[in-house]
Structure 1
Amino acid sequence: MTAPKIRLVEHTGGLAAWSIRHPVGVVMITLAVMVLGLFALERLGIDLLPHIIYPEIRVRVVDPGVPAKVMEDKVTRQLEEQLAITEDAIYIQSRTREGRSSVDLSFAYGTDIDQALRDASTRLDRAKRFLPTSIEPPIIYKRDPSQRPVAELAVSSPLRDPVELRSWVDYTLGKWLVNLPGVAAAEVGGGLVEEIQVLADQQRLAGLGLDILDIGDALEAANVDVPSGRLQMADREISGRTAGRFQRLDELTDLPIVLDKDGAALLRLGEVTKVIEGAEEERLRIRLNGVPGVKLSIQKQPRANTVTVVEEVQHRIDQLHDNNIIPPEIEIHPVDDEARYVRQALNNAINAAVSGALLAMLVVYLFLGSVRRTLIIGSAIPIAILVTFILMTMGGLTLNIMTLGGLALGIGMLVDSTIVMLENIYRHQRLHPQEPPEERSRLAAAEVNSAIVASTTTNLAAVLPFLFIGGLVGLLFRELIFTISAAILASLVVALTLVPALSGRIPAGQEGGLRRTLNRIVESLQAGFGWVTARLLKVAWLIPLLFIAGLAAALPVLQQAEEIFLPKMDEGRVSVRITAEQGISLARMDEITRRVEAIIQRQPEVESYFTQVGGFVFGRSRHEAPNRAGVQVILKPLLERGGISSEDWIERVREEIRKARLIGARVRLYSRGIRGIRMSQGDDDITLRILGPDLETLETLAA
């Protein structure tokens, strides 16, 4: 009777039976997969979140000094008329401030945002015909969090003036960093740009029949390099160029100005003007921890590794310091470092995954009492994870908090299948010691083979529908679901190949004292469970009533529970926004901001703070607003600040600012959310929009 049964197993054992018969082949294939998995892990990018591109396109137009009303009439309305007819646009929003016009286009999730960007760019080109000639070149871009700087540095020097410092950062430090692997741009903001001022004597110009426009035309015509053609010789040719651009200050003062049409009467520019070498007017101030400086933003390439790029930048700066290439009086401090938060989030996810794997191995050892079987589970977990890395690389995923969370969940499902296979083989070894080892393993694998496949398929069927969720939820959790699915498939393959191939080679052996003790405990629990079940079956109607009562008691708690999209993460980043009345001078705004800085500096939990007064800088773009200032506060790690949360710190500082009585200024503090995620049009939990034709009434209601 035994032979037909064994022969049936040979035909129904499937992949597990084949693995038991070919353990060496399975091990060699496993080693090859591990090598591929390690290569795949090396190619995986590291980021905080999945690559999210919101279905939004933004247009920015800057014309410094122009009043908001004029910007609205001359720029914003023209942009709205042209951009509103962009194909598939479902929402358009504009904001106009002094010298700045912003128009945002929103599209439905799932729209080809690259095609929408091309269409919007065409509309913008048409709108340029109606825009003033004084504007700076319009900027159009899609809302892609990966385009945000991965690191922001503040460069300061007590010995160099703002012009010299900015020039050194822009033309020296920036060039050392921009050629690093993965760095897309090193953009400088703040400081002062060198400027040559030509101050005309209006009375002398009027006496000579000239005006300021004549001086401007003369400067523009003279400050050019003109190509001179080619000088051809017998065996070569030389391209010529007439150098006309100004190189020295005296060249400007000696520039001839024509007084009549015949060109007979000439005078030098220095006779009717005063030429001064200086800097542009200071309209925006930047400082770190109270020290004036220049902001340097590092942007990475779209698919580059965030952590690697930041580490390469820091390594290059350290190397330049060690070689004394960076002058000793120049200080470079990080303002914001995205890699810091990426490391923290990834370390937490990795620790959770490793802890889960170790606990799973501990449970296996307690219940099986075999170190070698425990090591099988311990080896199956990383192998399945390496298989998951291969699938993630093929799917174009990165290592982020979502994919690592999927791996952590997948480990639990992985252990389920492997433990079922391992325990059943061990049980057959104990129950049928007289049968050949290979046959016992085949029989055990055949019994649970279909059950493992069915349970794995059920798990996949439960999670795969979430891949079809749209909107921001779909963008965020698609990689999580993909990783869970990949981990489930990897666990199935490992449970049907490597686990039976290795388990069948381990003899049952004698049960140790720990195993016998655990068996007695489990048998006692089983007996107790049987006793309780027998009693409950006599009153079977009571069980549904108890479940209904428990559900009724839980419903109020469920309804009162707070519903949030994502849990709040205390990253220790606090933003302070200071707004004053229109018309305030930069010096007065800076005075108010310094009072706020003094309050922040007194807080022991503060690690650093970065201040921008008179507007803000983003990359090379800057927005001038004398009545606005911002302070970015970086708090120390949670343990180093005594467990005080960012919200508690904000409440304490808000009370101190209230006591300072900053007349004419409004100060707002808020904890910055997860970098790169915005779930609404504003930065607040609730945003109210008031519509109406009267701007003064709207301002009164908003206040």
Structure 2
Amino acid sequence: MNISEISIRRGVTFFMIYILIAGAGLFGLSQLEIDLFPDMDLPFVAILTTYEGVGPEDIENVLTRPLEEAVISVEGVEQVSSTSRTGVSAIFVEFTWGTDINVGENNIRKSLDMVRDYLPADASEPITIAFNPSMQPILIFNVSSDELGEVELNKVLTEQAQPRLERLEGVGSVSISGGTEREIQIQIDPYRLAANKLSMDQIKSAVRMANLDIPGGLLEEGRNEFSVITETRFNNVEDIRNVTVGYSPTGKPVYLKNVAEVVDGYKEMTQIVRNNRENSIVVLASKQSNANTVNTCNNIINYLPILEEQIGNNVSFNVIFNQAEFIEKSVQNLSTTAILAFILSALVLFFFLRHIVSSLIVAVSIPISILLAFFIMSQLEITLNIISMAGLALAIGLLVDNSIVVLENIFRRNHELNEPIRKAAEMGAKEISMAITASTLTTMSVFVPVLFLPG
């Protein structure tokens, strides 16, 4: 007794199974995460180290080569490439496909810790970054204000908007690009510096030490104990000018303003961000690796009017790029494809068979099968993305083909051979079941190798 015979004889049972499948599919669809791309583990790690004021050749000798030698022996490393530029060392490590990138990144960090003491003291700590598709911005919007200049607007965004946006559900990071940034510049006069017998290192050390909060111990009063901190951080430019950088032969203090000019200026612009042919400040938001892209974008967009009121100063946000719109359009296209397949398959069958019930049978088989796929995808934690949606669109075509072939054979036996409908359904499905199974398995076998692709 095959499945077609059982389904005919146990019609009520299979009808209940269809209802169960439809319910499970709708539940799975509500639980599906929607994203642009599937989760991928790219086997790439970048190591970035800065050493300001040093040329490319020296960067390669004192930073890039020691770091390369440290990571080349890490297990799973397939290739190491590097770029040395003025003040920056960038190393790119490629692992073999299938390597757990989190484990690989931890192993790289351990190797870097072993050589950190041999690097220049003024160089920054090496930063490791594992490549992840979720790191790309999902939402980009520009910011404008009629009351604030670029410097003030940049400061407001950094101090007020950025931390508030990063606290929203699903948001991983928020970065600000463009505009003019404030910078305090210390322009040292070499002649006055030599006259006071001071060096650049002394100036640098004195300014750095003067901008620290120094602990002053504990103060006990009865049963209470207070922590004392000496606050010496700079509050304004005049505090910087009055930093003591040394002493004259007579013991008189030498202030920074005696050997340098302290200018409250702007950071040198190395990039220009423009929107609609005008200089602009843009905010880029990225999601957490396990967050829903559509929900995260909607959370940010819904919060922007509230943020405008909180910041004030006539600040307005204008969305430039919204990845959720593309994803929603892709889902809408899939829905449209399913509906068109539903309608066209029914119309084609009705045109050839002239039988409304037969046409509806094929049309109903499409959404039932798709709903079952949604439930399986939710259990396997597969997101609804452009790859999975393309697969579903392809599956709709296969479902229609198989349904038409089976139904046409049943229709032929019922109308041409005058068999009773129950017998025609049983024998018609049984007669071509092997051919339909072989055809479907042949199509599936083409995609089986994809399951074994690493990453």
TM-score range with shorter-chain normalisation?
0.7 to 0.9
Which runs of structure 2 are paired with 1:8-27 in the superposition (5 Å)? 12=1, 14-27=2-15
Of residues 25, 37, 54, the one that matches 1:37 is 25
Cα pair 2:406 2:432 within 8 Å, conserved:
no
The answer for the alignment partner of 2:382 in structure 1 is 397
Give deviations 1:546-586, integer Å, cap 9, x for gaps: xxxxxxxxxxxxxxxxxxxxxxxxxxxxxxxxxxxxxxxxx
CA distance in 1, matches of 2:226, 2:429: 84
Q: Which amino acid aligns with 1:452?
A: S
CA distance in 2, matches of 1:94, 1:210: 38
User: Are 2:278 and 1:291 equivalent residues in the alignment?
Assistant: yes
Q: Which amino acid aligns with 1:279?
A: Y
Give deviations 1:245-299, integer Å, cap 9, x for gaps: 23344444455566389x9754655555544333333333322233222232211
CA 1:61–1:470 in 2, change beyond 3 Å: closer, same or farther?
A: farther
The answer for the alignment partner of 1:363 in structure 2 is 348
User: Are 2:359 and 1:374 equivalent residues in the alignment?
Assistant: yes
CA 1:66–1:333 in 2, change beyond 3 Å: closer, same or farther?
A: farther
Give deviations 1:615-651, integer Å, cap 9, x for gaps: xxxxxxxxxxxxxxxxxxxxxxxxxxxxxxxxxxxxx
CA 1:209–1:339 in 2, change beyond 3 Å: closer, same or farther?
A: same
Give deviations 1:65-90, integer Å, cap 9, x for gaps: 43222222222222322222222322
Cα pair 2:46 2:129 within 8 Å, conserved:
yes
User: Unpaired runs of 5+ in structure 1?
Assistant: 1-11, 477-703
Q: Which amino acid aligns with 2:304?
A: I
Cα pair 1:16 1:442 within 8 Å, conserved:
no
Cα pair 2:246 2:255 within 8 Å, conserved:
no
Which runs of structure 2 are paired with 1:236-251 in the superposition (5 Å)? 237-251=225-239
User: Are 2:101 and 1:113 equivalent residues in the alignment?
Assistant: yes
The answer for the alignment partner of 2:292 in structure 1 is 305
Cα pair 2:147 2:314 within 8 Å, conserved:
no
User: Are 2:131 and 1:143 equivalent residues in the alignment?
Assistant: yes
- How far is 1:399 from its partner? 1.7
CA distance in 2, matches of 1:150, 1:127: 37
CA 1:212–1:108 in 2, change beyond 3 Å: closer, same or farther?
A: closer
Of residues 332, 344, 349, the one that matches 2:318 is 332
CA 1:30–1:235 in 2, change beyond 3 Å: closer, same or farther?
A: farther
The answer for the alignment partner of 1:414 in structure 2 is 399
CA 1:139–1:210 in 2, change beyond 3 Å: closer, same or farther?
A: closer
Q: Which amino acid aligns with 1:135?
A: A
CA distance in 2, matches of 1:213, 1:97: 24
Q: Which amino acid aligns with 2:80?
A: I
CA 1:381–1:115 in 2, change beyond 3 Å: closer, same or farther?
A: same
The answer for the alignment partner of 2:268 in structure 1 is 281
Which runs of structure 2 are paired with 1:656-667 in the superposition (5 Å)? none
The answer for the alignment partner of 1:455 in structure 2 is 436
CA 1:213–1:73 in 2, change beyond 3 Å: closer, same or farther?
A: closer
Secondary structure, in 3 states, of the residue corresponding to 1:283?
Answer: coil
CA 1:64–1:350 in 2, change beyond 3 Å: closer, same or farther?
A: farther
Deviates more, 1:118-127 or 1:162-171: 118-127
CA distance in 1, matches of 2:431, 2:175: 59
Cα pair 1:381 1:414 within 8 Å, conserved:
yes
Secondary structure, in 3 states, of the residue corresponding to 1:285?
Answer: coil
CA 1:56–1:223 in 2, change beyond 3 Å: closer, same or farther?
A: closer
Cα pair 2:166 2:173 within 8 Å, conserved:
yes
Deviates more, 1:108-117 or 1:388-397: 108-117
Cα pair 1:350 1:404 within 8 Å, conserved:
no
Cα pair 1:194 1:278 within 8 Å, conserved:
yes
CA distance in 2, matches of 1:308, 1:475: 29
User: Are 2:34 and 1:49 equivalent residues in the alignment?
Assistant: no
CA 1:224–1:154 in 2, change beyond 3 Å: closer, same or farther?
A: same
CA 1:103–1:433 in 2, change beyond 3 Å: closer, same or farther?
A: same
User: Are 2:369 and 1:388 equivalent residues in the alignment?
Assistant: no
Give deviations 1:662-693, integer Å, cap 9, x for gaps: xxxxxxxxxxxxxxxxxxxxxxxxxxxxxxxx
Cα pair 1:205 1:211 within 8 Å, conserved:
yes
RMSD (CA atoms): 3.6
Which runs of structure 2 are paired with 1:488-503 in the superposition (5 Å)? none
CA distance in 2, matches of 1:364, 1:133: 78
Which runs of structure 2 are paired with 1:641-656 in the superposition (5 Å)? none
- How far is 1:185 from its partner? 0.8
CA distance in 2, matches of 1:219, 1:64: 17
CA distance in 2, matches of 1:326, 1:450: 74
TM-score, structure 2 as length reference: 0.84
CA distance in 2, matches of 1:344, 1:337: 12
CA distance in 2, matches of 1:52, 1:92: 21
CA distance in 2, matches of 1:152, 1:431: 64
- How far is 1:149 from its partner? 1.5
Secondary structure, in 3 states, of the residue corresponding to 1:282?
Answer: coil
Cα pair 2:304 2:317 within 8 Å, conserved:
no
Cα pair 2:48 2:90 within 8 Å, conserved:
yes
Deviates more, 1:294-303 or 1:344-353: 344-353
Cα pair 2:151 2:181 within 8 Å, conserved:
yes
- How far is 1:432 from its partner? 8.8
CA distance in 2, matches of 1:31, 1:279: 67
Of residues 306, 317, 340, the one that matches 2:304 is 317
User: Are 2:159 and 1:174 equivalent residues in the alignment?
Assistant: no
- How far is 1:188 from its partner? 1.8
Identity of aligned residues (%): 29
Secondary structure, in 3 states, of the residue corresponding to 1:241?
Answer: strand
Secondary structure, in 3 states, of the residue corresponding to 1:244?
Answer: coil
Secondary structure, in 3 states, of the residue corresponding to 2:46?
Answer: strand
CA distance in 2, matches of 1:114, 1:169: 32
Cα pair 1:89 1:107 within 8 Å, conserved:
yes
Cα pair 1:17 1:442 within 8 Å, conserved:
no
Cα pair 2:413 2:419 within 8 Å, conserved:
no
CA 1:110–1:249 in 2, change beyond 3 Å: closer, same or farther?
A: closer
Cα pair 2:183 2:265 within 8 Å, conserved:
yes
The answer for the alignment partner of 1:502 in structure 2 is none
Cα pair 1:64 1:100 within 8 Å, conserved:
yes
TM-score, structure 1 as length reference: 0.57
- How far is 1:386 from its partner? 0.8
Cα pair 1:151 1:310 within 8 Å, conserved:
yes
